[in-house]
Amino acid sequence: MSDLRELYQEVIFDHYKAPRNCHELAGANHRAEGHNPLCGDAITVYLRIEDGTIKDAAFIGNGCAISTASASLMTEALKGKKIAEVEHISEDFRRMVTDASMAPHPGLGKLEVLAGVREFPVRVKCATLAWHTLQAALRGQRSPVTTE
């Protein structure tokens, strides 16, 4: 059960019940839709990017506690970051949730709270849905992405 408590930490519940930046974004100049076919969860990520910096980020969607908390924490982490930094954080996040041998990564800040996902391989796609969708938004991809 301790693994479960690692996965479902207080912060996760907090971000699930009261997700941050959970709304459409007026003035968004990037957006993308993402979809987890495993469970039917869907998300839309909105970004307002100016001068290579993410000025604002938001999302809407319905999903499990892991995917919602991940999206919420992601939008908090993105604001004010340069795109190059965001790519770094994305890659670090992906490694954190998939690689059981990885040591904690200080650069991820609050996102560390999702480290427990790596003990639950079937839930990795929940954690990465928002991030896949973020990538699509950055690249200006038209069609919805999936976690497959």
Which residues would be at the binding site for another protein (CB under 8 A)?
A: 1, 3-4, 7-8, 13, 17, 38-42, 62-66, 120, 122-123, 126
By beta-carbon proximity to another protein, the closer residue of 2 and 101 is 2
Residues 6+ apart with CB under 8 A from 118: 96, 97, 98, 99, 100, 102, 124
Residue 106, number of CB atoms within 10 A of its CB: 8
Whole-number minimum distance, CB 39 to another protein, in Å? 4
Whole-angstrom Cα distance, residue 41 to residue 36?
A: 5
By beta-carbon proximity to another protein, the closer residue of 48 and 125 is 125
By beta-carbon proximity to another protein, the closer residue of 33 and 41 is 41
Whole-number minimum distance, CB 30 to another protein, in Å? 25
Per DSSP, what are the bridge partners of residue 146? Answer: 35
DSSP 8-state symbol, 22: B
By beta-carbon proximity to another protein, the closer residue of 34 and 63 is 63
- One-letter amino acid at 34 equals G
Whole-number minimum distance, CB 16 to another protein, in Å? 8
Whole-number minimum distance, CB 40 to another protein, in Å? 4
Whole-angstrom Cα distance, residue 86 to residue 91?
A: 9
